[in-house]
């Protein structure tokens, strides 16, 4: 099992918690999905999630421009709202940073965050600031969704078709470009942009909540293999994914040294690359016609089908192999 998920289970066991659908009263959904859901009365439910973004873990102090750090810290948190079909509204931020970053670095960071807030239609409503040895950001986001319309990851049923948005592995390839100092290489600006300044399918998420066209939905933040395993586990189902249908990023020949090529093949990046913040959704076969009316339908690719067996299989040619969850896990050394 994914080590971060084990840790979350341990925390939830030891601290008074509300787990998933065991919520009651005002709280509709607790720990274990992309966000928690609060249903305070009135026409809307409110969706809440929080996300850490740390120097040396989620971004590199020297390689990542501060405006990307500001932009991405908010967008990746908001992605958890989109994965519930909610409209991003407000955020709170704790920001810890060394004195040396309070000048131009912070200005660029805030400019990037402002750009993300305008793009998402979000506004800052509170927070906490303090000094620290390295930059540490935690963002809590609030989204709004019509009452009882929020989507979750536990509704997938055998026979449902599995879709993803966009190309898989772009952000991971972008990260490798940054690490290898190949950011100026032409023809890869799209890939780099998705890593530094990701766009997320806000309108599609909102449409899915309105139309209730999907049976389950979550965002792909840690990589398809890991996040599909989470969706299947929450829905108590399995899946068959077809390698040939995966919308892979194009990896230029000779970009990587021979030794590292297998790790960075288009297929490996699509299966295990994190940080894309696209959506993973499942749809009843008879609802695929409705799905064609979705905003951004052209960005959707059907990659397989939900099964009743609990295994997750990758179909390639004539073979079907178990697909191990090898996406991003902060507690696994890479």
**Binders in 87-106 for a copy of itself, by CB under 8 A:** 89-90, 92-96, 99, 102, 106
| From candidates 12, 63, 183, 255, binder to a copy of itself by CB under 8 A | 12
Selected range binding a copy of itself among 40-48, 182-190, 226-234, 290-298, rule: CB under 8 A: 40-48
| From candidates 65, 159, 295, 330, binder to a copy of itself by CB under 8 A | 330
Nearer to a copy of itself among residue 16 and residue 187 (C-beta): 16
Strand order in 216-220's β-sheet? 216-220, 278-283, 161-165, 300-307, 238-242, 312-316, 319-322
Nearer to a copy of itself among residue 234 and residue 284 (C-beta): 234
Nearer to a copy of itself among residue 7 and residue 324 (C-beta): 7
Selected range binding a copy of itself among 10-18, 61-69, 150-158, 245-253, rule: CB under 8 A: 10-18
| Contacts for 205 with CB less than 8 Å, ≥ 6 apart | 81, 82, 83, 84, 85, 86, 151, 217, 279
CA atoms within 13 A on the CB side of 28: 19
Say if CB 141 and CB 73 are below 8 A apart. no
Cβ at position 15, least distance to a copy of itself in Å:
5
d(CA 84, CA 61): 32
Question: Which pair of structure tokens corresponds to residue 311?
Answer: 């295994």
Residues 135-154 that bind a copy of itself (CB under 8 A): 136, 138, 140, 142, 144
| From candidates 1, 60, 61, 134, binder to a copy of itself by CB under 8 A | 134
For 56, 67, 111, 117, 272, the CA distances from 104, given in Å and listed in that order, are: 20, 11, 11, 20, 35
Nearer to a copy of itself among residue 1 and residue 111 (C-beta): 111
Place of tokens 């499942």: 282
DSSP H/E element including 154:
none
Specify the length of the chain in residues. Answer: 334
Residues 106-125 that bind a copy of itself (CB under 8 A): 106-107, 110-111, 113-114, 117-118, 122-125
Cβ at position 271, least distance to a copy of itself in Å:
22
- Does the protein bind a copy of itself through residue 10 (CB under 8 A)? yes
Place of tokens 């959506």: 279
User: What is the DSSP secondary structure assignment for residue 86, as one 8-state letter?
Assistant: P
Selected range binding a copy of itself among 14-22, 184-192, 201-209, 264-272, rule: CB under 8 A: 14-22
| From candidates 132, 189, 260, 292, binder to a copy of itself by CB under 8 A | 132
Burial of 15 (0-12, 13-18, 19+ CB in 10 A): exposed
Cβ at position 126, least distance to a copy of itself in Å:
4
Residues 43-62 that bind a copy of itself (CB under 8 A): 43-44, 46, 48-52, 54, 56-58
Nearer to a copy of itself among residue 54 and residue 250 (C-beta): 54
């Amino acid at each position: 099992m994914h080590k971060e998920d084990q840790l979350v289970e341990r925390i939830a066991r030891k601290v008074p918690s509300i787990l998933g659908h065991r919520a009651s009263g005002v709280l509709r959904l607790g720990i274990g999905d992309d966000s928690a859901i609060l249903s305070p009365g009135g026409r809307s439910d409110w969706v809440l999630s929080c996300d850490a973004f740390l120097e040396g873990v989620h971004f590199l102090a020297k390689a990542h421009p501060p405006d990307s750090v500001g932009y991405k810290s908010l967008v990746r948190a908001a992605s958890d709202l989109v994965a519930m079909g909610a409209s991003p509204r407000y955020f709170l931020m704790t920001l810890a940073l060394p004195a040396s970053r309070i000048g131009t670095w912070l200005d660029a960071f805030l400019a990037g965050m402002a750009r993300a807030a305008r793009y998402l239609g979000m506004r800052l409503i509170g927070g906490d600031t303090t000094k620290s040895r390295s930059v540490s950001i935690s963002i809590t986001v609030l989204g709004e969704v019509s009452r009882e319309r929020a989507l979750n990851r536990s509704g997938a049923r055998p026979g449902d078709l599995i879709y993803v948005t966009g190309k898989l592995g772009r952000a991971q390839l972008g990260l490798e470009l940054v690490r290898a100092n190949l950011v100026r290489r032409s023809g890869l600006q799209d890939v780099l942009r998705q890593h530094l300044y990701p766009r997320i399918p806000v309108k599609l998420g909102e449409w899915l909540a309105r139309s209730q066209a999907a049976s389950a939905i979550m965002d792909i933040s840690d990589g398809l293999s890991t996040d599909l395993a989470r969706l299947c586990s929450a829905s108590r189902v399995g899946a068959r994914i077809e390698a040939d249908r995966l919308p892979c990023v194009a990896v230029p020949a000779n970009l990587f040294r021979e030794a590292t090529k297998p790790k960075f093949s288009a297929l490996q990046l699509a299966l295990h690359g994190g940080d894309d913040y696209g959506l993973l959704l499942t749809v009843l076969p008879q609802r695929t016609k409705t799905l064609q009316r979705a905003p951004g339908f052209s960005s959707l690719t059907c990659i397989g089908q939900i099964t009743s067996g609990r295994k997750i299989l990758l179909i390639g040619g004539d073979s079907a192999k178990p697909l191990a969850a090898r996406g991003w896990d902060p507690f696994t050394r890479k």
